[in-house]
Structure 1
Amino acid sequence: MRIIVYGSLRRKQGNSHWMTNAQWLGDYKVEGYELYNLGHYPGVIPGEGTIEGEVYRIDAMTLGELDALRTKGGEYKRQLVSTPYGSAWVYIYQRSVAGRPQIASGDWLDRSDNP
């Protein structure tokens, strides 16, 4: 199975250690989503933009660990998206982004340019 990560799970980011057993397949931009800065991590919601992500091949154990990290308390929900590497799971933020800065570039690595 595959997953596309767009924030703190990306290479050289704060939670990248969760991807230690994953196989990086490549970078990919996903259309139809907007990226918001939630503080120490981002949230993606459906919208008009494009998000920058990294696609990985993962095993069921890694997916279970990521689900425990991301879906606890209903903060995120997994959704399948198409990538050049096949369908991949992406975590969609389930809470309000009102008052949160949007990262217009769709790239979490550009967040320092945002207020």
Structure 2
Amino acid sequence: MHKPVEITVYGAEQICASCVHSPSSKDTYEWLQAALKRKYPNQPFSINYVDIFQPPEDKKKKEYARKIIEEDLVYPVITIEDHWVAEGNPHLKKICSEMEKYGYRSQ
């Protein structure tokens, strides 16, 4: 593994209209953070939450937030190293598969 990957969870306080019975974006962020820490202990990564209606000044994050809103995508949207990995209710297996491309190994 070269450097810790950056995982970003894009979402909003309000649950997506298409995801009425799914967890909130913030709940998904917290669940994903805990699950990945258990799956990849002692393998550092950063995970951040971005509110799509109040994104940070980072140009790339603002652009992703704008795209999610304009294209009416199902959120949360999860990226790893700015690569779109999941939309809506994410599957841990798909996220882990992407992390393993960066050298992470399940323990």
TM-score (norm 1): 0.26
- Between 1 and 2, higher relative CO (CA 8 Å, sep ≥ 6) is seen in 2
The structure with the greater share of residues assigned to strand is 1
TM-score (norm 2): 0.27
